[in-house]
Amino acid sequence: MRLKIELWIVVLLLLTIKLQAQSIWNTAHLENVKQSLQNPFYASAYQELKSEADKLLNVQPLSVMMKEKTPGSGNKHDYMSQARYYWPDPSKPDGLPYISRDGVSNPELDKLDRNRLGSTASRITTLSLAWYFSEDEKYAQKATELIRVWFFNKDTYMNPNLEYAQMIPGRNNNKGRCYGVIDTYSFVEMLDAVKLLEQSKSFTSKDAKRLKVWFGKLLHWILNSPQGQEEANQANNHSTAHDAQAIAFALYSGNIKIATEIINAIPARRIFTQIEPDGRQPQELRRTLAFGYSQYNLTHLIDIFLMARKINIHIDNATSADGRNFYKAMDFLVQYVGKDVKEWPYQQISEWDYKQQEFCKDLYRCAVYLNPERQDYLQLYNANRIIDWKDRFNLLYMQPDEVDNAYAFACKQLHFAIECANKAKKEQENQCKKRVTPRSINKDGSLRMIHPHDWCSGFFPGSLWQIYAYTHDDYWRQQAISFTWPIEESKWHKGTHDLGFMINNSFGKAWELTGERSYKDVVLQSAKTLITRYNPKVKCIRSWDHNRDKWQYPVIIDNLMNLEMLFRATQETGDSIYHQIAVNHANTTMKNHFRPDYSSYHVVDYDSKTGAVRARQTAQGFSDDSFWSRGQGWGLYGYTMCYRFTKNSDYLKQAQHIADFFFGLPNLPEDLIPYWDMKAPDIPNTPRDVSAAAIMASALYELSTYVSANDSRRYKKLANKIVDSLNKDYQAQSETAYGFLLLHSTGHYPGGDEIDVPLSYADYYYLEALARKRMLDTNHINSDTLPIVKE
């Protein structure tokens, strides 16, 4: 009876392995990626994968027969490599025996097999993945050729041993060392790729059987040879890597019993012996690349944990009596993520930034594939990882949401926008008129570039800063800088109320993200300039200086958006004048701009001497009593922002009233992208205004953090619906529309200008809405800007 039970267990394990084809990779994830390759988040990585695979189609297969030296065995089929950090002894005529320079690689490695083995494994992996995702058999044919040359062919095969791996010239008769066992670690991921390849026509069942036999022999050597056993007894990452390889090779060759035994021994043999109760890994910390080796060891453990899951063994939470466990080691390194290398209390003589990024990937794999409760890891990953859209990690592990896909689209599109804008800046007319940044598309189809004094000049650089905030890629910082500083002169421009739009959304974003004083100085000077337009009688900042025959002291609803810069100025300088002017302007606008139903007028004209209201009108809406959509958006956003800085409940109530009025309109389209004016006579045959929708979505996300739980869900649901609509139906086609992100905005309908076009501010608030949605969805919220208010 016991024998039958054991046989059934083996059968079930084998079925589990068959169903879960990959050991480190996740079959279901890869299948989902395969069905989603058109998604922006995956597209670049997939194209890069295919490009790399295409370059490999004509490469000469590598083999162990290509090395310049022959191992001590006299058989070139035996693998041979040299210890990475050993160099000729300069005090010896022949340099022998070699001496250690820890952390410094010797280029002599290229003359032997190690780099060729790594290249072969990498090439097979690339080609196999390219076949899997594309189903183009040419990739499978090439991968199979490389496998046969390295492992099978009579004249070129590698013997399944590592007897001469990582030898040190002049020592031990040039015999290999135990540390050489790590040389074949690249086979671990390669075998996952080979499992995919088994579904192709080119890689036959005979090939699969031969390769399993080969790895069965290598497994036997690793477990039973003196070098393999010595490696297993190491106290550092080498023994962990030994086990990871043995597990992978055992799973691939069908030896479930061995894999299970090794996995079950991991806690006692590796975790509890290598990790201290406080999370330090002493054997890694003594190295000159202490952070790197600590991270390296944890990566091996993650690989082991993922492989263990495939045979239903969960050991990542194993904890010793005195508190030693894997997550303690992760948490020890977590303290230094995003920090300067100088704050690391051990040595890391090179590769600090690279290893930080590798550790970010470890954090992601832990949070997504091992322990979803560790959302702090995911938050740390999001805060510190640098997005490389071509990185294969995106295909193998990343599970992007709609926000990630929207950002991926935005990155590609804004690359194109930068090209178009830089080209346009060189045009003679734009140079003569000092037009430095894109705003929209002209009626003749050309790109509309604008002067620094245009009210929209800050939106494009602000969008670039937002992309930098998401990607952490220095490319975007440099591009944002190049479009930000050309509009600096606007800080002195007293002829406009729009300095908040122009400066706070560009230099303000730069200051927020970098903390650099130069950006702050521009913002503070702009605040000084802006308050020169304040009239204490009216208690508002004047909006327009034109049409003085029509308006004496016009104030538009848009002007609320410039108050954020004033609030920030008081926070930074301690001078209350900015705050008081902002509050007065907000109060006066709330009193005079809104009707009883909380819809707003566009323009209120005041008597500059008495402060009395002269007229309530519109300039960009359909009529004086209509609901100009973008104006309602400015009001919603403006009072939500004012509450952020003042915590005045009147502002919060005002924002809610505006939201409830607008989203209660019976003629609002189902997708929540409003018509340019909600009282336009030709609804539904009238243009939409995507810019109004983007502004409102961003405001609603913030508003949702200040209200009761029920209202929070309601406002967030509205914002999500808007963003979903924008993502699905209003994005431009890639590399069209001069790189603008969203189509179908309306600027000044009565003036016949910018109707049904892309607009830079629509893109800016769209990106801001995405960022706020992301923070709310991941609970990664900055309490200074978007605090959560619990019911």
pLDDT value at residue 114: 95
Q: What is the pLDDT of residues 640-688, one digit of tens each?
A: 999 999 999 999 999 999 999 999 999 999 999 999 999 999 999 999 9
Segment among 122-126, 565-569, 778-782 with least mean pLDDT? 778-782
Q: How far apart, in Å, are the Cα atoms of 506 and each of 519, 549, 707?
A: 9, 34, 29
pLDDT digits (tens, 9 = 90+) for 525-535: 999 999 999 99
- Beta-sheet pairing, 534-535 with 447-450: unpaired
* Residue whose tokens read 């209509």: 626
666 cis-preceded (ω within 30 degrees of 0) = no
What pLDDT score does 24 carry?
97
Q: Mean pLDDT, to the nearest integer, of 510-536?
A: 98
What pLDDT, on the 0 to 100 scale, is given for residue 21?
Answer: 55
pLDDT surpasses 60 at 751: yes
Which of 513, 510, 462, 483 lies closest to 419 in space, CA to CA? 483
- Alpha carbons 480 and 463: distance in angstroms, whole number: 8
Q: How many residues can be counted in the chain?
A: 791
Is pLDDT above 50 for 221?
yes
How far apart are the C-alpha atoms of 363 and 709, rounded to whole Å? 31
pLDDT digits 0-9 by tens, 623-644:
999 999 999 999 999 999 999 9
Q: Given this model, what pLDDT does residue 778 score?
A: 83
CA distance 385 to 734: 25
Nearest to 262 by CA among 279, 280, 245: 245
Please state whether 748 falls in left (phi above 0), alpha (psi between -120 and 50) or beta: beta
In CATH, the architecture of 404-777 is: Alpha/alpha barrel (1.50)
pLDDT tops 70 at residue 694: yes
The candidate with the shortest Cα–Cα distance to 163, out of 187, 182, 188, 180, is 180
pLDDT of residue 788: 39
The percentage of the chain sitting over the pLDDT mark of 70, rounded to a whole number, equals 96
- pLDDT exceeds 70 at position 243: yes
Q: H or E stretch including 691?
A: helix 690-703
Residue range 139-168: average pLDDT? 97
Residue 361 clears pLDDT 50, i.e. is over it: yes
Q: Read off the pLDDT band of 780 (50, 70, 90).
A: very low
What residues have CB less than 8 Å from 538, skipping those under 6 apart?
A: 553, 555, 588, 606, 607, 608, 611
Answer whether residue 789 shows pLDDT above 70: no
Query: CB of 196 within 8 A of CB of 128?
Result: yes
Residues 6+ apart with CB under 8 A from 359: 291, 295, 298, 333, 337
Contact 489, 465 (CB under 8 A): no
pLDDT tens figures, 499-509:
999 999 999 99
Mean pLDDT along residues 123-151: 98
pLDDT(787) > 60: no
User: What are the tens digits of pLDDT across the range 155-172?
Assistant: 999 999 999 999 999 898
Distances (CA, A) of 132 to 16, 53, 81, 210, 745: 21, 12, 32, 21, 41
* Residue 275 identity: I
pLDDT of residue 22: 75
Catalytic residue among 391, 498, 677, 689: 498
The string over 452-470, giving b where at least 16 C-beta atoms fall within 10 Å of a residue's C-beta and e elsewhere, is bebbbbbbbbbbbbbbbbb
- Rounded to an integer, the average pLDDT of 425-430 is 97
pLDDT single digits (tens) 595-632:
999 999 999 999 999 999 999 999 999 999 999 999 99
Check 558, 677, 689, 763 and give the catalytic one.
558
* Cα–Cα separations (whole angstroms), residue 558 to 444, 604, 617, 641, 668: 28, 11, 14, 13, 22
Residue range 386-397: mean pLDDT, rounded? 98
Distance between CA atoms of residues 493 and 549, nearest Å? 23
Q: What is the pLDDT of residue 20?
A: 46
Q: What is the DSSP letter of 606?
A: E
Of 95-104, 224-233, 329-338, 721-730, the one with minimum mean pLDDT is 95-104
Measured on CA atoms in the order 760, 761, 765, 771, is the torsion positive or negative?
A: positive
Report whether 229 contacts 169 (CB < 8 A).
no
Kindly report which listed range (94-103, 280-289, 556-565, 600-609) carries the lowest average pLDDT score: 94-103
Q: Residue ranges of the domains in the chain?
A: 1-35+234-398, 47-202, 404-777
Residue 431: strand, helix, or coil: helix
CATH pick for 47-202 out of 3.30.70.890, 1.10.3210.10, 3.40.50.620, 1.50.10.100: 1.50.10.100
Structure tokens at 672: 């929540």
- The pLDDT, as a whole number, for residue 779 is 67
Q: What would be the CATH architecture of the domain defined by 1-35+234-398?
A: Alpha/alpha barrel (1.50)
How far is the CA of 550 from the CAs of 533, 544, 546, 588, 606, in angstroms? Answer: 19, 11, 9, 21, 11
Tell me how far apart the alpha carbons of residues 259 and 308 are, in angstroms, rounded to a whole number: 8
What's the chain's average pLDDT?
Answer: 95
Closest CA to 494 of 529, 469, 540: 529
Least confident of 9-18, 152-161, 288-297, 312-321: 9-18
Q: Catalytic residue at 558?
A: yes
Q: Range with the lowest mean pLDDT among 20-24, 218-222, 554-558, 667-671? A: 20-24
Query: Would residue 391 show up in a list of annotated catalytic residues for this protein?
Result: no
Give the per-residue pLDDT at 104: 86
At 323-352, the pLDDT tens digits run 999 999 999 999 999 999 999 999 999 999
- Return the pLDDT at 120: 98
**Per-residue confidence band for 785, with pLDDT thresholds at 50, 70 and 90:** very low
Confidence of residue 7 (pLDDT cuts 50, 70, 90): very low
pTM of the model: 0.93
What's the pLDDT at 84? 86
